């Protein structure tokens, strides 16, 4: 049985989706806010997410970004926003498909089935624990000695890419492209500077790191 997380603040729509999904054998969880969706996804990881962009506490694109910090779960956007730029923004944030309201239930269910066929289980858990600090990928937080470690958005993005791939060497070019963009693929000095800062903030001994490791001539590797 596949689990679908429905995120929408319209009770009538959530009820209609729940009835149709359960009738077809899906288990359904529901959240009316972005924060509730992120919490529910972390505590009960779904097989797919059906997400409205117009939530009361945050834009749905922020929910997509929060989910993409730790999971590849298929995300199907439902929205009354039909302008091309809004669709592109949601897809660029990490959505897999985009359905404009009002929609036909049969079409939605077909798109959901297609998304589930393409989907894969989450490769890592939303929380990464080391002996020295904890990374909460869904909340975008790092905790050391019981306190939040303050990271800049760039520092967080760099750490996130590494933490999502524990034990794997991430090449310089990929890191630069994912964090700064394709125009920065040769700027390896950016990586040296930011990795040094992350080590000062997170490693007990920045000169002899245990978690943020350099692979000479190749890239960097994160070891929990």
**Mean pLDDT confidence for 170-198:** 87
In this structure, are 131 and 114 located in the same domain? no
Given strand 212-215, what is the order of strands in its sheet? Answer: 169-171, 219-222, 212-215
Alpha carbons 177 and 187: distance in angstroms, whole number: 10
**Mean pLDDT confidence for 37-44:** 90
pLDDT above 90 (res 9) = yes
**Mean pLDDT confidence for 53-69:** 90
**Mean pLDDT confidence for 95-113:** 89
In this structure, are 37 and 55 located in the same domain? yes
Counting residues of the chain whose pLDDT is more than 70, the rounded percentage is 96
Alpha carbons 52 and 147: distance in angstroms, whole number: 33
In this structure, are 144 and 171 located in the same domain? yes
CATH code (residue 183):
1.10.10.10
pLDDT above 60 (res 120) = no
**Mean pLDDT confidence for 67-83:** 87
Q: Which two tokens stand for residue 131?
A: 């002996």
In Å, what is the CA distance from 97 to each residue of 52, 100, 106?
Answer: 12, 10, 15
- Please state the φ and ψ torsions of residue 62, each to the nearest 5 degrees: -70, -35
**pLDDT of 122:** 45
pLDDT above 70 (res 186) = yes
In this structure, are 15 and 65 located in the same domain? yes
3-state secondary structure of 32: coil
In this structure, are 20 and 104 located in the same domain? yes
**Mean pLDDT confidence for 49-61:** 92
In this structure, are 10 and 102 located in the same domain? yes
In this structure, are 94 and 48 located in the same domain? yes
CATH code (residue 26):
3.40.50.2300
Count of domains in the chain?
Answer: 2
Record the pTM.
0.57
Q: Which of 53, 86, 118 is the last residue of a domain?
A: 118
In this structure, are 34 and 99 located in the same domain? yes
In this structure, are 182 and 217 located in the same domain? yes
In this structure, are 139 and 100 located in the same domain? no
Q: Which of 118, 151, 175 is the last residue of a domain?
A: 118
**pLDDT of 139:** 82
- For residues 148 and 153, the model is more confident at 148
In this structure, are 114 and 207 located in the same domain? no
pLDDT above 90 (res 143) = yes
The boundaries of the domain holding residue 90 are 3-118
Alpha carbons 183 and 176: distance in angstroms, whole number: 9
How confident is the prediction for the chain on average, in pLDDT? 89
- For residues 128 and 69, the model is more confident at 128
**pLDDT of 163:** 92
In this structure, are 107 and 192 located in the same domain? no
DSSP element (H, E) containing 42: helix 34-43
Q: Which of 118, 151, 179 is the last residue of a domain?
A: 118
């Amino acid at each position: 049985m596949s689990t679908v997380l429905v995120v929408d603040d319209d009770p009538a729509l959530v009820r209609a989706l729940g009835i149709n999904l359960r009738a077809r054998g899906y288990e359904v969880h529901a959240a009316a806010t972005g924060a509730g969706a992120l919490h529910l996804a972390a505590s009960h990881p779904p097989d797919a997410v059906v997400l409205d962009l117009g939530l009361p506490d945050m834009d749905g694109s922020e929910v997509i970004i929060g989910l993409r910090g730790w999971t590849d779960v298929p995300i199907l956007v439902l929205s009354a926003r039909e302008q091309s730029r809004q669709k592109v923004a949601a897809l660029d944030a990490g959505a897999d498909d985009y359905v404009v309201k009002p929609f036909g239930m049969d079409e939605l269910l077909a798109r959901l089935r297609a998304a589930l066929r393409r989907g894969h289980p989450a490769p890592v858990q939303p929380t990464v624990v080391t002996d020295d600090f904890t990374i909460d990928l869904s909340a975008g937080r790092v905790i050391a000695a019981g306190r939040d470690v303050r990271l800049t958005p760039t520092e967080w993005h760099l750490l996130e890419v590494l933490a999502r791939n524990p034990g794997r060497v991430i090449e310089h070019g990929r890191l630069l492209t994912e964090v700064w963009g394709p125009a920065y693929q040769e700027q390896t000095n950016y990586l040296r500077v930011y990795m040094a800062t992350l080590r000062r903030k997170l490693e007990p001994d920045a000169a002899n790191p245990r978690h943020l490791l350099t692979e000479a001539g190749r890239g960097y590797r994160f070891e929990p």
